Amino acid sequence: MPHHTPAPSPTPGKVHLVGAGPGAADLLTLRAARLIGAADVIVYDKLVGPDILALARKDAEFIYAGKQAGNHTLPQPDINRLLVTLALAGKNVVRLKGGDPFVFARGGEEIAELAGAGIAFEVVPGITAATGAAAFAGIPLTHREHAQALVFVTGHVKDGTCSLDWPALVRPGQTVVIYMGLGALPSISRHLVEAGMAPDMPAACVQDATLPSQVTITGGIAELPDKVIAAGITSPALLIIGSVVSLRDALQWFEGAAPH
């Protein structure tokens, strides 16, 4: 929403970089909820739901800074500068980011700008999408019989390509979680199989993790792209790849259950 540029204050404010978690409001940390409720200004991302924003003061100012493929409401450098400007105006700012601020969320870039400007800041971790989606899909990310390593990567496509260390991702005994990989799923699937992953390696795509609208699609990595397209899956969605996905049939508890 439109916002004005506040005048500098003799006493600078503070910026709290807060993880909003994977979606459900009751998965916020207590510290996150307290800070949201005390903020003068909340600069929030696309994946922060209305139930979380409802925790704010009635007189709080809201500034939307969401991003999606090909459409950035505010470019990242502008967001960085905005946080500095708000703090210099004496505002108590919450920068509210989906998941965890330090997991594929550019939190490091934002606090680097704050540190360079001498602005006081605090980072509040949140449940990241990987752990939220896995827990609510009934997929343990690690398991003594399946995976002794866990790898987080981003499948964000730049210039039409998805460049990852494919041989590293097909090593045995690990689970691979791919953030922002839905649009590149056909390419990801092909590259993994070409690098030596079994075409029937269990894989899952989880949409709207932790929310009542959550949907999980599973299948072999080679067939998953077609199954995801057939199901009409849209972002936000997370990919989980590894033999741990085979445990879902016995361990799923959330989808289709009575409201919590």
* Same domain for 142 and 92: no
The number of domains in the chain is 2
Q: Is residue 227 flagged as an active site residue?
A: no
**Annotated catalytic residue within 14, 26, 40, 45:** 45
Task: Name residues whose C-beta falls within 8 Å of residue 249's C-beta, 6 or more positions apart in sequence.
Answer: none
Domain residues for the domain of 71 are 14-124
Q: Is the pLDDT of residue 91 over 90?
A: yes
* Same domain for 26 and 104: yes
Contact 43, 83 (CB under 8 A): yes
DSSP string of 99-126, one letter each residue: B-TTSSS-HHHHHHHHHHTT-EEEEE--
- 3-class DSSP assignment, residue 18: strand
pLDDT more than 90, % of the chain: 85
CATH number at residue 185: 3.30.950.10
In-domain check, residue 7: no
* Same domain for 230 and 141: yes
Q: With the C-alpha atoms ordered 208, 212, 213, 214, is the resulting torsion angle positive or negative?
A: positive
- Which of 68, 92, 124 is the last residue in one of the domains? 124
**Annotated catalytic residue within 14, 46, 67, 227:** 67
CA distance 191 to 217: 20
pLDDT tens figures, 144-200: 999 999 999 998 766 656 789 999 999 999 999 999 999 999 999 999 999 999 999
Quick one: pLDDT at residue 70? 54
Q: Is residue 67 flagged as an active site residue?
A: yes
